[in-house]
Amino acid sequence: MLVLPPRFLVAIVEDDLAVLDSLQLSLESEGYAVCAFESAAKALGSALIDDADCLVVDYGLPELDGVGLIQALRRRDNRTPAVIVAGDPNLTCQRKADAAGLAVLEKPFRGDALSRQIRAMLPPAPRGRGLGRARI
- Higher pLDDT: 124 or 1? It is 124
In a domain? residue 105? yes
Number of domains the chain contains: 1
State the DSSP H helix or E strand holding residue 134, giving kind and residue range, or none if neither. Answer: strand 133-135
The structure's pTM equals 0.91
* Structural domain contains residue 133: no
The residue segments making up the domain with residue 30 are 9-123
**Which letter does DSSP use for residue 89 in this model?**
-
Within a domain: residue 132?
A: no
Q: SS3 letters for 6-69?
A: CCCEEEEECCCHHHHHHHHHHHHHCCCEEEEECCHHHHHCCHHHHHCCEEEEECCCCCCCHHHH
Q: Are 51 and 128 in contact (CB under 8 A)?
A: yes
* pLDDT on residue 132: 56
Q: Say if 13 falls within a structural domain.
A: yes
| CATH code of the domain in which 99 resides | 3.40.50.2300
Answer whether residue 75 is part of any domain.
yes
Distance CA 117, CA 84 (A): 11
Residue 3 lies in a domain: no
Residue-wise pLDDT for 15-65, tens only, equals 999 999 999 999 999 999 999 999 999 999 999 999 999 999 999 999 999
In a domain, 130, yes or no: no
